[in-house]
Amino acid sequence: MPLAIFALTIAAYAIGTTEFVIVGLLPTVATDLDITLPLAGLIVSVYALGVTFGAPILTALTSRIERKPLLLGLMALFIVGNTGAALSPSYEMLLVARVFSAFAHGVFFSVGSTIAADLVPENRRASAIAMMFMGLTVAIVTGVPIGTHIGQIFGWRTTFWAVAALGVIAFAGIAALLPKSLSRATPASLVDQLRVLSSGRLLIVFAMTALGYGGTFVAFTYLAPILQEITGFSPESVSLILVLYGVAIAIGNISGGRIANTNPVKALIGLFLLQALVLFAFSFTAASPVPTLVTLAALGFLSFANVPGLQLYVVQLAKEHRPGTIDVASALNIAAFNLGIALGAWLGGKVVDSALGLAATPWVGAVLVSLALLLTLWSGALDRRSTGALQAA
């Protein structure tokens, strides 16, 4: 792989770390800024919404900018966002800083994947994109627990300083290694985006993505306080548990692709069912350390195992119902993932702030995933009806 690919991988690692590291630091941030846990949880929601709505708009607005200056500008924005987070004197300023980082996140992955593909021969494009996205996976396995550990020892602001430093390294790597002449992809028109959003079949899958992926975040957003207040783990143990969770996520992501290769709908039905059951079980196992670790390993595996199947299913339906808009449909499904994170984190905050309390977040998440399961069954039934109609014709 060209060295420029590794510069993109480092950037993806930094971005992945800043997105999820806040989960392990919520109790620390809440205490330091003197805010409630639900308010701290909104830090996760605001970031996800920034990615959801900022990515398509900013990608379209920046389509005429040369690719290398654009990436450098995005990493500069990322550095500013994380530096602002480290310096934030108040909760409101922290939210603003997180939005800046989120804008950089959304456009980077939209543009970075096409750049990675252009840097290698055609027969190695998938491997180049996978290498770049490996930075995101490795961030979940190592960056999040390390960042959480740093924040618990030296304060949460130090974590954001460290992430900003990673951004500086990525900026230098892109500046030194990325070629100046890179092709620009034709941006999707507003008409193409509206064509995708006017398809009822694709809207069902986007809802499956938001509910199925976002359901876990009802509890995951508040995982640190659950582990500390309900299970009884020490704050120092949380970072180690996040390593276990991250490894399970990585295994689940890889395995999910293999499971969904043949029949994504059948795979998603099984995965959503298991995910809902494990989330429901977590409401009971959270009271004991060993059952909690077993449950979290299963939950980590299942929470990301559905990602490949959801993406593959969107591509299949786009080919059938909206030919020529596959890239747009895929990008909108990525937005649905982040919308799910925002929804899950927001709903989790409402649950924590209600009479149900922190312990109810897992089973409420299970309800969201169950809704995704029902939508998947419905969509599968529509597929069979459509196939039957074609065969009859």
Between 101 and 66, whose confidence is greater?
101
> Does the pLDDT at position 343 exceed 80?
yes
Percent of the chain with pLDDT over 70: 95
Question: Angle of helix 326-352 relative to helix 361-392, nearest 10 degrees?
Answer: 150
Structure confidence by residue, pLDDT tens digits, 7-38: 999 999 999 999 989 988 999 999 999 999 99
Structure confidence by residue, pLDDT tens digits, 225-244: 999 999 999 988 998 999 99
- Kind and range of the H or E run holding 230: none
- pLDDT score, position 189: 58
Mean pLDDT lowest for which of 175-189, 210-224, 315-329, 353-367?
Answer: 175-189
CA distance 170 to 139: 14
Mean pLDDT lowest for which of 245-249, 305-309, 327-331?
Answer: 327-331
Alpha helices by DSSP H, listed for the chain, are 3-33, 37-61, 67-87, 91-118, 125-138, 144-154, 156-177, 190-197, 200-220, 223-225, 235-260, 264-285, 289-321, 326-352, 361-392
- pLDDT score, position 387: 73
The helix, strand and coil proportions of the chain, stated in percent and rounded to the nearest 5, come to: 85, 0, 15
**184-205: b (≥16 Cβ within 10 Å) or e:** bbebbeeebbebbeebebbebb
Spell out where the chain has E strands: none
pTM of the predicted structure, to 2 decimals: 0.85
Residue 389's pLDDT band (cuts 50, 70, 90): low
What are the C-alpha distances in Å from 122 to residues 68, 110, 182, 187, 354?
21, 19, 15, 21, 54
What are the C-alpha distances in Å from 28 to residues 22, 112, 150, 153, 236?
10, 33, 12, 10, 12
Task: Give the closest residue to 328 by CA, choosing from 226, 230, 186.
Answer: 186
DSSP 334-347: HHHHHHHHHHHHHH
Neighbours of 90 (CB within 10 A): 11
- pLDDT score, position 361: 96
What are the C-alpha distances in Å from 300 to residues 124, 168, 242, 384?
30, 30, 10, 31
Residue 86's pLDDT band (cuts 50, 70, 90): very high
Task: Give the closest residue to 102 by CA, choosing from 49, 171, 147.
Answer: 49
- pLDDT score, position 382: 92
Between 346 and 109, whose confidence is greater?
346
What are the C-alpha distances in Å from 233 to residues 22, 41, 245, 252?
18, 20, 15, 25
Contact 221, 26 (CB under 8 A): yes
Neighbours of 319 (CB within 10 A): 13
Structure confidence by residue, pLDDT tens digits, 376-385: 999 999 988 8
- pLDDT score, position 373: 97
> Does the pLDDT at position 187 exceed 60?
no
> Does the pLDDT at position 185 exceed 60?
no
Question: Look-up: residue for tokens 């692709």?
Answer: 257
CA distance 342 to 138: 22
* Residue 389 tokens, joined: 């109609």
Residue 360's pLDDT band (cuts 50, 70, 90): very high
Residue type, 359: A
Between 353 and 304, whose confidence is greater?
353
* Residue 61 tokens, joined: 């607005």
Tell me what the mean pLDDT of segment 124-136 comes to: 75
Q: Residue 82 contacts by C-beta under 8 Å, 6 or more apart in sequence?
A: 18, 97, 101, 160, 161, 163, 164, 167
> Does the pLDDT at position 186 exceed 70?
no
